[in-house]
Amino acid sequence: MIRVGINGYGTIGKRVADAVRAQPDMEVVGVAKTRPNFEAQSAVEKGFDLYAAIEDRKPQFGEAGIELAGDVEELVEASDIVVDACPSGIGADNAEMYREYDTPALLQGGEDSDVVGASFNARSNYDAVEGVDLVRVVSCNTTGLSRLIAPLQEAYGIEKVRATLVRRGGDPTQSDRGPINDILPDPVGLPSHHGPDVNTIYPDLDIDTLGLKVPATLMHMHSVNVSLESEPTAEKVRTLLEGERRMFVIPEWLGVDGSGAIKELAQDADRPRADIWENCIWGESISMEGNDLYLFQAIHQESDVVPENVDAIRAVLGEADQEESITTTDEAMGLDVPLTQMR
């Protein structure tokens, strides 16, 4: 059993903890939190051992009646690998601690790729991170793009990718984020940083991205153009993508018009937290004009990186090859069951 520590128990951390626990070859050593808040108690109730991320605040846990298993250093020491799901920037600060205990660690996509040399996407570069100490599981948007690029690159070759990322303004609980009634270029300067981030996975890919922010909370939406090196029919491309794992090509008859409907599918399918781990591509949108492929895909910012973190654990430790890991992860999570079926 791979002993996994989770440092940070928020939007990503709590999902990774559940996903890791579901794996046949992994166990959760514990989770680290900075404060004894609701999520801390929720972790305890779920039976996860709780570690204090900040020594000074340990007494606060006691006052709140929450028993601690130790402090974060002990968690790191006791783990074969740590998934760091702390807020952006903190992960990089933690790197030294992970090195000190000689524990490999996965950081999240919000960390700077200049600080963390290796980036990871299960479909794209599984084999590249074996034995690497510090690996960045790329962001939700970059994960979504990489999963799409991989099969297209292999099957047809890619001349250039141009994508407009219409991003949700905030998550459903982030009530202090806007905009309320606006469409914001974000960043205004072009191309956006998302393209270079994809280049940490595909260094030689020619890709330009543009980012916008809109008043929606459920999922990001990608308006994608890929100039291919050959000219397959749209049907062929669709069949290719339908054959991919972690990709749900939305059939026309479902009548799915947006992310609200996708979330409803996930709720009806009894997915945990109604999570949508896969890229959701509108089948009808897949089209070819000359060698230009166009399509729309929706990306669930809260969860699409979760299976990627699970795979990265095995990839870094060399515990399974790509095919084996993805299959195991997906079956354990229920990601092998299409979004239209009960899990």
User: What is d(CA 325, CA 315) in angstroms, rounded to the nearest whole number?
Assistant: 8
Residue 35 phi/psi, 5-degree rounding, is -140, 150
In the complex with a second copy, which residue's Cβ is closer, 131 or 189? Answer: 189
> Between residues 54 and 183, which has the closer beta carbon with respect to a second copy?
183
Give the nearest distance from C-beta 130 to a second copy in angstroms: 34
- In the set 4, 134, 138, 140, the catalytic residue is 140
- Nearer Cβ to a second copy (30/283): 283
Least distance to a second copy, CB of residue 128, Å = 26
Query: Is 140 a catalytic site residue?
Result: yes
State how far the alpha carbon of 7 is from the alpha carbons of 38, 87, 106, 291, in Å: 16, 10, 10, 45
Tell me how far, at minimum, the Cβ of 119 lies from a second copy, in Å: 22
Closer by beta carbon to a second copy, 93 or else 264: 264
Give me the least distance between CB of 96 and a second copy, in Å please. 31
Please give the positions annotated as active site: 140
